[in-house]
Every structure is written in structure tokens, then in C-alpha cells.
Structure 1
């Protein structure tokens, strides 16, 4: 797979995971608007997006054919930890832009920059630490 195809596929999967996250959040939020319902919506949405992205990345980005509960459990745990690291980059960049400029436009600019940097780092962390036995189609 070419580098460009890999980047487009990875970006497309990020969009799908985001849509899954937000879709699940909206479904849960139909149950009310309390703080508990909101926290449940964010948590279940995040989990849904994480699972969708893991399944797609495992199969279509890293071409990892490992099976079994043990292999999936270990990889999914590592995948989640790498996501925590890169989420901190995203949230940090978004927050920094908000604190500096105090506008929604700049906050969202920071969010987009943070997401782009985070996803590049996440790909490399996943390639190095999560999908170590995978057959890669390309190296961005």
C-alpha cells in the first residue's frame, strides 16, 4: 500500500471512530441531561470509538492477523494506553490555544493541530509497541 493510501485510510478510520463516538453519545444523551447521563455518554462514546478504531487499524492499517483473547487483550490494552498519551497531546494543544487567544476559532484550530500531531504519534507508537508482529503495507 502506498504512503498516501495509508494516510487516507488512517484518516478515514479516524473519522469513522469519531462518528461512532458521537453517535453513541447522542443515543445515551436521549436518556436525559444530568451530569451522570453526560458522563455515561462520554464514557460509552469514547469506548465505542476506541473499539471501532482498534478493529479497523488492526486489520486494515497494520494487517495484524493475531487471534485469541490473550492477543487481543494485550494489544487492546496497549492500544488504549497509547491513546491516552496522544489524547493528552490533543487536549493540551486545544487548551493552550484557548488560553492564549480565548476564541472558539483558535481553540478549534488548536484541537485540529493537536489531533493531527496526536494521530501521527499514535500511529508510530502503535506500530512500535502494539502491532509489533504486523505486516505493514507502508511506513509513513
Structure 2
């Protein structure tokens, strides 16, 4: 796949995961307001987005065809650990915008900014530390 094709595919998957994330947050926040519900919404949205993005990335970005509970468990654990760093970027941006402007639009713009930065960082971490066997078999490891 060309670099442009990879960037486009990864971007589309990031948009899909972002929409799932923000939709989940809105569903949770529909039940009320407050800091506790806000934290629950961010956690639920992050989890939904993480699972969707893992499944798409594993197969269509890194061409990892490994299967079975052990393979998925190990890779999803590593994928999640790499995501912790990028989640701090995402949550920090989203929270800062919410605290400054206190609107759903500002919160979601902050989320999109944070997720965009986070996904660029995440791709590089995943390529280097999570999907190493798949990348080696394709001759793409660097």
C-alpha cells in the first residue's frame, strides 16, 4: 500500500473510532451533568473507540492475521498500554476545552484535536511495539 493510502485508511479508521467515542460520550451524558458523569462518559467513549480502532488497525493497517485469545489478549494489552500515553493527550485537550468554554461543542473540538494528535503518536508506537511480527513479515519494520 502506498503511504497516501495508508494515511487515508488510518485517518478513516480514526474518524470511525472518534465518532464511536463521541457518540458513546453523548449517550452517557444524556443521563445528566456533573464531573462524575463526565469522567464516566470519557472512560466509556475511550473504551468503545479503543476496541473499534484495535480491530480495524490489527487487520487493515498492520495486516496482523494472528488469531486466538492468547494472541489477541497479548496484542490488545500492548495496544492499550500504548494508548494510555495518547489517552492523556486526548483527555487533556478535551478537558481543557471543556473547563475553559464549558460547552459541548468546545469539549468535542478539544476531543477531536487531542485524538488527532494522539492517533499520530499511537500509530508510531503500535508499529514499533505492538504489531512487530506483522510488520516484520511485510518488511516494514523500522
TM-score by length of 2: 0.74
**Paired residues, number:** 130
- Paired with 1:5 and 1:51, the residues of 2 have a C-alpha distance of 23
1:55 is matched with: 55
Q: Which runs of no fewer than 5 residues in structure 1 stay unpaired?
A: none
- Paired with 2:42 and 2:141, the residues of 1 have a C-alpha distance of 33
Q: CA RMSD in A?
A: 3.2
Structure 1 runs, 4 residues or longer, greater than 3 Å off:
87-92, 114-118, 135-140
**Matched-pair contact (CA < 8 Å) for 2:82–2:122:** yes
TM-score by length of 1: 0.75
Structure 1 residue 127, shift from structure 2 partner: 1.2
Q: Which of 1 and 2 has higher RCO (CA within 8 Å, sep 6+)?
A: 1
Structure 1 residue 58, shift from structure 2 partner: 0.5
Q: Which runs of no fewer than 5 residues in structure 2 stay unpaired?
A: none
Summarize deviations over 1:46-105 as a string: whole Å, max 9, x none. 10011111111011100111111111111111111111123345567x59x98xxx99x9
1:37 is matched with: 37
**Matched-pair contact (CA < 8 Å) for 1:54–1:76:** yes
